Structures are given as structure tokens and as C-alpha cells.
A and B are shown apart, each in its own frame.
Chain A
Amino acid sequence: MSDPSSGGEIVIDADLRMQHAGMDVVGPVMEEGWRHYLGLDDDLSAHSSFRFHLPSSSYGIGSVSGKPDPAGPAPLQQVRDHLDANRIERAVLNPGTAERISGFAYADASIAIARATNDWLVQEWLRHDDRLFGSIVVSPRDPAAAAAEIDRFGADPRIVSVSLAYPQDLLGHRRYQPIFEAAAAHRMALNLDAGGGFVGINRGYTGSGHPSSRYEYRVASLLSAQMHLVSLIAEGWFDRLSRLRLTVTGSSVTWLPAVLATMDAQYRRGDMDARLRRLPSEYLGEFIRFTTSDPDWDGTTQAVELLATIPAGNVLMFGSGTPFRPTSAPATVLDRVPAAWRSRVGWRNAAAHYVLPIKAKPTEAKASARV
């Protein structure tokens, strides 16, 4: 329960997972017409038992994990217990449905379901605990509609992030410009959430075939995150939008030094058609954060050794994955990072990245929420 490694400091959990079990949950907050169209209302005939479903992973990932235990405490209570037990002062809720919305063929329905999910986030989660902040989910199928959805929450200080899972194109493609502009305008961090590569209409991570096992699938998803990250940097979005921020969740991080080294090397050779204002790796410190909620922290020191080659202390944010991903307590994760990183990984990076208000600032450190 105690958290010795963070030296009595507060903790911010940058990756809570709230996941609705299905559309029945968001039906009550959906517009009437969509509720009817999707079969979520009580049909007057009582003859319609059909329920439209979000697409799920072609690898059945959702069928082997990620379901709440019906006999256990309610998800909200699980989250609050987690915050209490670990002295977590702030937490960011990420929508676990992002990958299913990202791959949804029906563009208009994906927008309606994203809207309902976001209203559900505010009503069923954020309203019940001041420590909770939220990441809304948007559908990449219609970037203009996604931007409108971001604007809808622009005045809500509790919404600090915008999630989307792997979209149909590489993340840096100009078709997504409205999403980037809206997120930057409202200073919400863009969250690239792992998944969606083989959901619904999305056809693959690799462009060269499909993995034949869940193991291959999970490893291949890292390649996808790499390609989206390279794309966003290389297309110059951090030059164009100085208020844009990117969070990468659920995608591991140990590959980052190698990718950055390759990007810098190719850039120096003049392989890029366009000029960036900085060396590619230099966007990392100001703009890009990775959460720790992934298997890199499963008990070896390998991750730290690799990450020490880049300024990883500035890049990592503690994220637990509670309650729908394998959970790591702050003590477990922060014990494994070098002492010099702990305060930043434990809360400072997240406070600045999401511009979170901190109630009780520790005396020995300056909490500089850089905006």
C-alpha cells in the first residue's frame, strides 16, 4: 500500500482504462434516433432482440481479457480504491473502446457512439470523483466530425486528452489535420492508443500480411505504433502546431531509442524531402510522452538500460492500466526506474503534459506545469 519509492510524493496515474461492456451502456445517453437505429431502445413491438455491436478485434483479444468481473466491485469503485491505496492525486481515464471505434466501418455510427461514450465518461465517471480527468474518444473516420467533438468539450477543464486508436492512414496524414488543430487549440493531448490494426475495416499492421497468432499480433502492434509516431513527427505537425502534444499508451517503449536513432541518422543524410525545425529526436522532450502501462516493466532491468540512452526520464509517465489492463502499482514501476527519474515519471511529466492542477505541491520540488 505504501509508496516508498516515490519518496512520499504524490502520484499521477496517466492511464486508467474505462471500458464499457457494450452499447447497452451508452444507449441511455445517445440521441433518440441513433438509439433506435442501433437497436438500443425498447422496440415497441417487443420483437426486436437485435443489438448492433461495435466491431471487435480479429484476434479475439477482447474475448480473452478486458472484461470486468461481474462479481467484483463496480469499475468506478475499483478505480477509487486504486487511487486511495496508492495516494494517486490525479488520474487520466482513457477510453478502452478507442480501437473498436477506430475500425468501425459505419462512419456516422462511429461518431454517434464516440459522442455517447464521451457523455458516459463525464456522467458516470468524472462527476463522481474530483481526482479523475478524462480523455475523450473520437472516430478517425470523419476528421471534421472528430474536431467538432473535441470542440464540444473544449471548455471542460476535466477533459485533458483526445484518444484515437490506429486510424486508417498513418497518423501524420494531412487528412487528420482537423483533429490535430482542434486538440492543439484546446490544449488537449492527442493519445495514440494501441490497437485497432485488425478491427473492423482496418486491415493490418504490417502491410505485408497478417500475424497467425495472438503473440505475433501483440508484437506487431509495436511496429504500428512506431510507424504512426514517425509519421506524425516527419509530417511536421509539431512545427505547425506548437500546442500539440502526443501520448502513446499501451505500445511499449523500449523500441524508442532505436527508432529515434534511425530517424536522426536518415534525417542527417538528407533523406527527408521537407525540413523540420529540429532533429527528429528533439521533438520527444517537449511534445511526446509514453505511459508505463505495458510489459516493459515486468521485472527486468533491460528496459531501463535501453531507455537510459535517451532522455527517458522526461518522456515516461506512470500509467497503471487499472482496471482493464494488467495493473502495475506505482511502487512496482517506480522502484524500477532510476531514482533521478522517479519524481518526473511519478507525476511531474504528467502534470505538465496534461496541464493538471496539483493541490498539494511537494516542498522539495518545483512543480512546473509547462504549458
Chain B
Amino acid sequence: MPIIDADVHHQYPNVDALAPYLPDHDAAKVFFPNAGIGNPRGGMRKDAVPPGGGVPGSDPRFMVEHHLDAYGVDYAILNPGSPLALGGLPFEDMAADVASATNDWTVHEWFPVDPRYLGSILVAPRDPQRAAAEIHRMASNPRMVQITMTSSPCLMGDRYMHPIYQAADEVGLPMCLHVGGADAGVNFGSYFGGAPSSFIQHHVGMCIPALAHVVSMVLEGVFEKFPNMHLVLNEFGVTWLPFLMWRLDMEYRAGREDVPWLKRMPSEYIREFVHFTTQPLETPDRPKDIVTLLELVGAQDMLLYSSDYPHWDFDSPKYVLSGFPADWKPKIMFENSLKLFRLRERGLALGAFAAAV
């Protein structure tokens, strides 16, 4: 079966890799705030270190061999892993410069290595105007199939963020929010009630901001105002969808006048505009229970397979959907991504992949 892996992390070998693409060529100034809590077991797969050593995910040729070829991945959507904390960086201009440099680095140092690599336009959300300009600068490259950011400085429906969505709407690219950075730097953290005190708490709680952002975007009318933009949520989990959709619709019946711009039930916006990458997929004791839950809200049409390579919590495409119905698997493994990222329209569905789909 064809595979589109919608969340793969390429890493800088070190921050000096950005120097050629920074306006002052000075990578020594660049730094990323950390989250105050790291994974004591390490953040990377132990078997993903490139043969010459260095950071897992930093060698584009080794990733081809170790991931794309090993699992038969037809397309891998790269989402820069090194700057996941970028959204927490307090210096707006440095963050925007790093985002631009990262995009140029992806295009120049990863795309030429293998046609299966696709990219994400990284933007720094603290300056929405500069983010919008970056979207317009990069969108002409057909292999840049989405926009990505981490850690919004505010609820994502807030009008402060709308210049970013305006640009996404104009260029017709989905907007991806990846976990990370919510607990970094000057951001306020995943847990609204206080700071977790161990990594395991942090890693559960990093899902929580997505619920708040989806509520905000739907009710603020983002998908009415920018109907050409979809939202992709990376690594936020998925089985909270039934709760959120039912609760939103219940509240809408009572409070419709607060948001008179909505033309449909809130859950319908989620069904049409919000997509979820699978990894890390929740694993109930009985595998069929997750299918039952997802079927209730039609999530088989919203899910995009992702591996999260080379991060430690990688989901193998061979095993992660093993409890799913046969007719869901092609949708999740490639069809939903093919459609959302418009690969055919972009001239990207080529060769054996084109024949298979």
C-alpha cells in the first residue's frame, strides 16, 4: 500500500547549518528556548544516529535509507524538528529570520536529495505580518505542501493571528500546528492550571492546547473567513474529538448568538477543515475500541498517517493501524493526504506512486 508520511522531522546537524541563509550569516546568535523539562530517556530513536554520528534526522541520505526505503514511504512531509521551540522565542525578528533560513535550508539541502521529500513552510507566529510575508515568499515552490508553526502566542482563533490565515487562504495551503514550544520560553505552557513536574505529565498534557485552539478557531469563524485554509494538528491525539464535537454543538444550541457568523454546526467545521496526523495514536486495551470511537465522528476521513521519525515515539506504518478496518487503511495511509495536500494538482503524484493510486 502506498504511504504518505505526514510528519517527519529533519534536524539541523547543528545551528551553523543555518548560517548561509541568515541575513547576517551569524548562526551564533540563534538559540532556542528550552521547555524546562526534557525527556530523561532522550528525544530520539536510539537506532537513528547517522553512520557518521551526529543528530538523528540530520543526514538526508541516511533518512532515505533508514526510513523512506526501509518502510516504502512514497512521500515524507518534512517538518523541521530542530526549531520546535521557536514559538517560545521572545525575539520576534530572530524567530522570523530563523524560520526563513530554515525554509531555505529545507529547499536547498533536502529537496535535491530525493523527490519523495516534501516540505512545510515554517513561520514564527509572534509576528503574523512577517509570517504572512514568508508564506508568500515560499509558496511558489510546489513541494512546500503546508505551512507549519508551533506554540501560538494566543488562542489561535484570535484576530491577531488572522494575517497568517489570510496568507494561507490566498496561497491555498493547509496550516499545520505541531506540538512543541507551548512549554518553551515565554509561552505559558500546555497545562493552564500550572506546571507539570515530570516528563510523562508533560507528554500527556501537550495535547491539551489543541482542544482550546480548535474551539477558538471554529467559534471565532476562522473557517468561515478563510474557507481555503485547512488545519492540520500534529501529535495532539485524536480520541478527544467526540467529546469536543458534541460539546461544541451542545453549547452552540444555547449560545448561537455569541457567534452569529457560523453558518453550520461547529462540529461540521471540524469535519471539513480539521485533520489529524496519527502519531502518537492512543492505544486502548482493546484495539477495536479506538475504531468505535473514531467512527462515531467520521474520523477515518480526517486522519493522516504519520511516523514522527526520528523521534523516540515513532509509529511504524507496519503496525500502527493493525486494529483498523481494511477500508480505512488506504484512506489514512495515503488517500486523505493525497487529497488534502493536493499532490496531483501540484504535479507531485509521480511514477510508481501515481500508478498505485
Touch test A–B (CB under 8 Å): yes
Q: Are B199 and A58 in contact (CB under 8 A)?
A: no
Q: Tell whether A210 pairs with B34 under 8 Å between CB atoms, given A48-B42, A201-B195.
A: no
Interface residues of A in 54-74 (CB under 8 A from B): 55-60, 63
Instruction: Report B10-68 residues with CB < 8 Å from chain A CB.
Output: 31, 33-38, 40-43, 46
B41 to chain A, nearest CB (A): 7
With A50-B42, A107-B197, A141-B197 as known contacts, state yes or no: A198 contacts B90, CB within 8 Å: yes
Pick the most buried of B36, B40, B43, B89: most chain A CB atoms within 10 A of its CB. Answer: B36
A37, A47, A48, A201: which has the most chain B beta carbons within 10 Å?
A201
Using a CB-CB cutoff of 8 Å, which residues 56-101 of chain B contact chain A?
88-92
Residue B274 lies at the interface, judged by CB distance under 8 Å to chain A: no
Contact string against A for B residues 185-213, beta-carbon threshold 8 Å, 1 for contact and 0 otherwise: 11111000001111100100000000000
State how many residues of chain B have any CB contact under 8 Å with chain A: 30
Q: Is the interface of A mostly helix, strand, loop or mixed?
A: loop
In the bound complex, residues from chain A placing their C-beta under 8 Å from that of B36 are 55, 103-105, 199-202
Q: How far is the CB of B28 from chain A (nearest CB, A)?
A: 9
Contact residues in A for B31 (Cβ distance below 8 Å):
60, 63
The reply to whether the CB of A327 lies closer than 8 angstroms to some CB of chain B is: no
A283 at the interface (CB under 8 A from B): no
Determine if B91 and A212 form an interchain contact, defined as CB atoms under 8 angstroms apart: yes
**Assembly CA distance A314 to B34 (angstroms):** 41
Closest to B43 in A: A50
Q: Given the known A-B contacts A39-B40, A108-B197, are A56 and B186 also in contact in the complex, defined by CB atoms under 8 Å?
A: no
User: Contact at B186–A53, with CB atoms within 8 Å?
Assistant: no
Contact partners of A198 in chain B: CB under 8 A? 90, 185-186
Shortest beta-carbon distance from B49 to chain A in Å: 8
B323 CB → nearest A CB, Å:
32
Cβ 8 A contact of B40, one of A38, A103, A168: A38
**Which of chain A's residues 204-260 have a Cβ closer than 8 Å to chain B?**
204, 210-213, 217
Q: Is the interface of B mostly helix, strand, loop or mixed?
A: loop
Closest to B312 in A: A50
| B90→A200 contact, CB < 8 A | no
Question: Which B residue's beta carbon lies closest to that of A214?
Answer: B91
Known: A50-B42, A198-B186, A210-B186. A106 touches B90 (CB 8 A): no
Interface residue from B38, B187, B188 paired with A53 (Cβ < 8 Å):
B38
Q: Which of B31, B46, B184 has the most CB of A within 10 A?
A: B31
Q: How far is the CA of A109 from the CA of B91 in the complex (A)?
A: 29
Cα-based distance from A57 to B33 in the complex (angstroms): 7
Hey, what's the 0/1 contact readout for A29-44 against B, CB within 8 Å counting as 1?
Answer: 0000000011100000
30 A-B residue contacts at CB 8 Å?
A38-B40, A39-B42, A48-B46, A55-B35, A55-B37, A57-B33, A58-B88, A58-B89, A58-B90, A58-B184, A60-B31, A105-B36, A105-B37, A105-B183, A105-B195, A105-B197, A105-B198, A106-B198, A107-B197, A108-B197, A141-B197, A200-B34, A200-B35, A201-B189, A203-B186, A203-B187, A204-B186, A212-B91, A213-B91, A217-B90
By a beta-carbon cutoff of 8 Å, the part of chain A in contact with chain B is 37-39, 47-48, 50, 52-53, 55-60, 63, 103-109, 141, 168, 198-204, 210-213, 217
Shortest beta-carbon contacts, A-B, top 10: A200-B36, A50-B42, A201-B195, A210-B186, A105-B37, A58-B185, A58-B33, A55-B36, A105-B36, A107-B197
